[in-house]
Structure 1
Amino acid sequence: MTQLQNFLEKLHHTYSMVDAGQVAAYIPELSKAHPDWFGISIVTTDGQVFNVGDTAQKFTIQSISKIFSYGLALEDHGREILLEKVGVEPTGDPFNSMIRLDEGSHRPYNPMINAGAIATTSLLKGDSPTDKLNRMLKMFERYTGHELFIDMPTFMSERATGHRNRAMAHLMLNFGMIDKDIDAALDLYFQQCSVMVTCCDLATMAATLANHGKNPMTQSQAISEDYVRDLLSVMYTCGMYNRAGEWAYRVGVPAKSGVSGGILAVIPGKAGMATFSPPIDDNGNSVRGLHVFEALSKEYNLHLFDLSMGRCNFCI
């Protein structure tokens, strides 16, 4: 335990000096984040917690929410129906690209790009927009172990500036990929991206996936174990924007990032890990977070192919 804590403190000290990247500004509220915020959290599948830095600082979850709404949609409809609407292929295009909507099957390529996430969110069950929102918040609560809230200024900011997302929704409506109530689907999507979390929350959510869908702190089953593999698969191939391939090569674990500066990663059967640092690179990934995860993977042989060959030395 002391060895891991000491290593995390060393990483935090080393990479807090990195000043590359820029705080996201295309959503006005995100530009208010302080570039020096920096936290690292690890939660193990047996409930141990390791925190360094600004791990209690709240921020909006942004695109990291996509993996969890995808899980809820899988539970609502099953794999086959969802695959008719949203694929699972990486694109090589920016996360907010519209290029891939009008080719082939007209499906969004995967649920981690904006188009795929909007289509996924539009499929969530509920008798009303409020009911759908409450179901989503309850879902997040199962992963974190406590109630979460939406940051209304961020939601309103995304709603006011999300013209590209609105255009995607209309294009998908044209192809029959989403239903008619575009505004309700977009509002729910903007709301899910505006949920407030901490770095420690993200690590707990990742640990829940590492623990077969069961929250290691509360023992609540956040998602059916049958669908955990689906989530980890799309995280591994599509979770890190246009750096997904290099991430798989260098770090080698299922992960998801968001433009607010969060990254979560899953070490199956062992732990959930998360970093938070607002300055991001051109792909939308936290610069300090990338450094931390590469160092962790190298130190503990976390790459999935190291795990499969018994070389992982992450033992707490």
Structure 2
Amino acid sequence: MIDSDILYQLILANKDKCKGGKVADYIPGLKNANKENFGVCLIDNNNKVSCAGDYEKKFTIQSISKPLILMLAILDNGEDYIFSKIGMEPTGDPFNSIKKLETSLSKPFNPMINAGAIAVSSMIKGSTSENKFNRVLDFIKKISENPNLDYDEDIYMGEKITGNKNRAMAYFMKNDGIIEGDVEEALDIYFKQCSIRVSAFDLAKIGLFLANNGVTSYGERVITEHTAKLIKSLMVTCGMYDGSGEFAVRVGIPAKSGVGGGILSLVPGKMGIGVYGPALDSKGNSIGGYALLEEMSKILSCSIF
């Protein structure tokens, strides 16, 4: 475990890299992020916390919601049903690419790309759209151990207004039977889940939950050990968009990024890690967060390989 002073030095050492990144601007609201913000939080399995920088700054979770909602969908439907409709393979394409839907019989390659995540959102159980999203929100509250989480209404509306490509993917999948329910309802859940506001501290708590194979810090098992390992495996192979392979080589730990600037990461059996830095590289990953995790992995010999 690195103490807060060393984390602060890592923040300082990698902060200049943020200047070379760009905040996401294709969703109204995200472009207002301060690219100078940079924070990190580590929580080990003894609940020791080390933090530095803007670790309490709130931002929208975006694609980091994808492995989280997948856990709930597996609880609702079982693994076999989920993966009869969604694959487990990395794509090598951008997260919002639509081109392989047509060439793969409309089956999304994995749940970490937009098409796969929208399909997963359509599988959440509930009597109404509101009820389904509330189950998503309550689930993320439980595994983050933060009962005060909520979503950002402005970001949600921006997602909904600008989400034409996501809408096209969803209707494509509806046409071929991947999505069985109401398309607009599935999209509404997806846009809201991406708009949930978290901090690097919240991500570290979720990372610790996965590091401990689906058990919260107060001892409640929420998902099976098998499901936790499945989620971590998908994070390794698909979690950093089309930069996942390079990240596995350079950093070597399960991680999931989001264009809001967050990275959820973990060292299995040891710690959860949350990073925030809204300046992104060309693939949509936090440029400072990536560099910090790479350096930290070397210091702690974190790589699982």
Are the equivalent residues in 1 in contact too, given 2:55–2:276 (CA < 8 A)? yes
> Partner residue of 1:204?
205
SS in 2 for 1:279: coil
CA distance in 2, matches of 1:135, 1:28: 26
Instruction: Kindly report the root-mean-square deviation, in angstroms, between the aligned alpha carbons of the 2 structures.
Output: 1.1
> Partner residue of 1:153?
154
> Partner residue of 1:13?
12
CA distance in 2, matches of 1:155, 1:69: 17
Return the offset for 1:45.
1.4
Are the equivalent residues in 2 in contact too, given 1:75–1:224 (CA < 8 A)? no
| 1:86-97 correspondence to structure 2 within 5 Å | 86-97=86-97
Q: Cα–Cα, structure 1 residues 180 and 81, in superposed 2: closer, same or farther, change >3 Å?
A: closer
> Partner residue of 1:189?
190
SS in 2 for 1:28: coil
Residue 117 in structure 1 maps to residue 80 in structure 2: no
Question: Once the two structures are superposed, what CA deviation does each residue of 1:143-190 show, in whole Å capped at 9, x if it has no partner?
Answer: 111221010000000000000000000100111100241110000000
Are the equivalent residues in 2 in contact too, given 1:232–1:254 (CA < 8 A)? yes
Residue 46 in structure 1 maps to residue 8 in structure 2: no
Are the equivalent residues in 2 in contact too, given 1:139–1:222 (CA < 8 A)? no
Are the equivalent residues in 1 in contact too, given 2:62–2:195 (CA < 8 A)? yes
List alignment gaps of at least 5 residues for structure 1. 306-316
List alignment gaps of at least 5 residues for structure 2. none
Return the offset for 1:128.
1.2
Question: Once the two structures are superposed, what CA deviation does each residue of 1:25-51 show, in whole Å capped at 9, x if it has no partner?
Answer: 010110011111110100111211111
Return the offset for 1:273.
0.8
Return the offset for 1:5.
2.3
> Partner residue of 1:310?
none
CA distance in 2, matches of 1:150, 1:185: 16
Give the alignment's TM-score, normalised by structure 2: 0.97
CA distance in 2, matches of 1:104, 1:17: 41
> Partner residue of 1:311?
none
CA distance in 2, matches of 1:222, 1:197: 20
Which amino acid letter does the alignment assign opposite residue 73 of structure 1? A
> Partner residue of 2:221?
221
| 1:43-192 correspondence to structure 2 within 5 Å | 43-147=43-147, 148-192=149-193
Which amino acid letter does the alignment assign opposite residue 302 of structure 2? L
Return the offset for 1:75.
1.2
Question: Once the two structures are superposed, what CA deviation does each residue of 1:218-256 show, in whole Å capped at 9, x if it has no partner?
Answer: 333332323101100100000000110000111111100
CA distance in 2, matches of 1:49, 1:81: 38
Does 1 or 2 have the higher relative contact order (CA < 8 Å, sep 6+)?
A: 2
Give the alignment's TM-score, normalised by structure 1: 0.93
Question: Once the two structures are superposed, what CA deviation does each residue of 1:251-270 show, in whole Å capped at 9, x if it has no partner?
Answer: 11110000010011111000
CA distance in 2, matches of 1:28, 1:87: 31
